Amino acid sequence: MADIIPSINAPTFQEVQERIAKVEPFTVSGAEPYVSWCHLDVTDGVFSNHATWHDPADLLRLETKLNVEVHLMVEKPEDIIDQWLVKQIKRVILHLETLADPDAMIRKCRDTGVQISFAIKPDTSVSLLGPWLEKVDMIVLLRVQPGASGQQMQSEMLGEISYVRKACPGCIIEVDGGVTVDNAKRAVEAGASLLVAGAAIFSSHDIEKAVKELRNG
């Protein structure tokens, strides 16, 4: 069983807010809230040919009970990182493929009390993560190409999750992209700690049921 994090992939901040509202945590019969984090996909149309909402100034008016992580799928995150280090953001995810100085990004996030995570795309070798496994708060394996929600997960993902888990038994591994009820359990068995899902949640008429099915495999 792994925690499920809803992925918010939207063209406008209004839609970002609407989707967050749909997955706000609540308690049923004394149970724990079924969602405690949300994942904001931010693409600039350069690193990915798909553009989403990407204006950090909007976050100043974001009100939510959820912990928020932002996934910066942008060409030059080092140029804009300061704008995203605001109190509404608890964790920043940066792509190793885009960083000139990963250590500087780790220091900057730590200095502002924001968790730092490094991600890689499906066509990037997982060996690139090696030097950073013990230095960051979380590793993110993006298993679809950066861009639109609803893509199918890359088939080789299980071996890559296992590779990272063996290399770093204590690491938090987040798997993002193409997560469905059909592959969630296998991803967890391979070593995933957290599963990020968008289409599998927001295409459902019963969000609570969708999250529970993903969590229970």
Query: Which residues contact residue 127 at a Cβ distance below 8 angstroms, ignoring those fewer than 6 apart?
Result: none
| CATH label, 3-216, candidates 3.30.70.1140, 3.30.1120.10, 3.40.190.10, 3.20.20.70 | 3.20.20.70
- Residue spans per domain, the chain: 3-216
Query: pLDDT (tens digit, 9 = 90+) per residue, 191-211?
Result: 999 999 999 999 999 988 999
Per-residue pLDDT at 27? 46
State pTM to two decimals: 0.92
Query: pLDDT (tens digit, 9 = 90+) per residue, 161-173?
Result: 999 999 999 999 9
Query: If you average pLDDT over every residue of the chain, what do you get?
Result: 90
Whole-number Å distance between alpha carbons of 216 and 181: 9
Supply the residues annotated as catalytic.
41, 176
Per-residue pLDDT at 143? 78
Overall average pLDDT of the 78-97 stretch: 96
Nearest to 82 by CA among 66, 64, 59: 59
